[in-house]
């Protein structure tokens, strides 16, 4: 048997191969670290500073508060417009009722005036009444004796 075929030789070759791969990996990592340090890049490069995070949260909170106030203002104005529309509707209804009441009063007055006789009709009625009195003043009622029953009961 050859030396490479023995289990110990194979294990030794594997160990050497992995040692060489580890060395290459270490070199590439160190090169990257050296390249980063050569550019002056800090370890926390690319992270947002704490003061900016605080400022951002403050601005977001203020923006949310302004939006809430704006929404409350919009809702308040909406309620005011609804109340104004309701008031306008009530006043329109009241005016309509007043106009209807005036119209009914005029109609009642017209009916009363139509039912009342005109001055000409009153004069004719007065003349007819005076004529009837004059006719009946001259009239004599005659009663026959035989038409009256003697015994009423």
Least confident of 21-30, 78-87, 90-99: 21-30
* pTM as predicted: 0.40
Q: Do residues 15 and 41 share a domain? A: yes
Q: Which of 73, 93, 92, 69 is nearest to 81 (CA)?
A: 73
Mean pLDDT of the region 123-132: 90
How many structural domains are present in the chain? 2
Q: In this structure, is the dihedral angle defined by the CA atoms of residues 16, 17, 21 and 22, taken in order, positive or negative?
A: negative
Q: What DSSP character marks residue 49?
A: P
- pLDDT for 119: 87
Q: Are residues 61 and 41 in the same domain?
A: no
**Does residue 105 belong to any structural domain of this protein?**
yes
State the Cα–Cα distance between residues 116 and 122, nearest whole angstrom: 9
State which residues form the domain around 111.
56-118
Give the C-alpha separation, 110 to 105, whole Å.
9
Assigned domain for 87 exists: yes
Does any domain span residue 141? no
Place of tokens 């004719």: 124
Q: What is the DSSP letter of 47?
A: P
Res. 9: pLDDT tops 90: no
Please state which of the ranges 43-57, 66-80, 112-126 shows the lowest mean pLDDT: 43-57
């Amino acid at each position: 048997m050859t030396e490479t075929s023995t289990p110990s030789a194979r294990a030794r070759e594997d160990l050497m191969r992995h040692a060489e791969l580890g060395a290459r990996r270490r070199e590439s990592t160190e090169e990257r670290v050296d390249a980063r340090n050569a550019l002056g890049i800090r370890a926390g490069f690319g992270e947002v500073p704490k003061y900016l995070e605080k400022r951002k949260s403050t601005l977001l909170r203020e923006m949310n508060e302004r939006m809430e106030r704006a929404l409350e203002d919009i809702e308040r104005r909406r309620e005011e417009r609804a109340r104004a529309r309701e008031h306008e509707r009530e006043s329109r209804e009241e005016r309509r009722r007043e106009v209807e009441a005036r119209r009914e009063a005029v109609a009642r007055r017209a009916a009363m005036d139509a039912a009342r006789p005109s001055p000409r009709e009153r004069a004719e009625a007065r003349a007819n009444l005076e004529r009837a009195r004059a006719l009946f003043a001259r009239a004599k009622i005659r009663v026959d004796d035989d038409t009256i029953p003697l015994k009423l009961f």
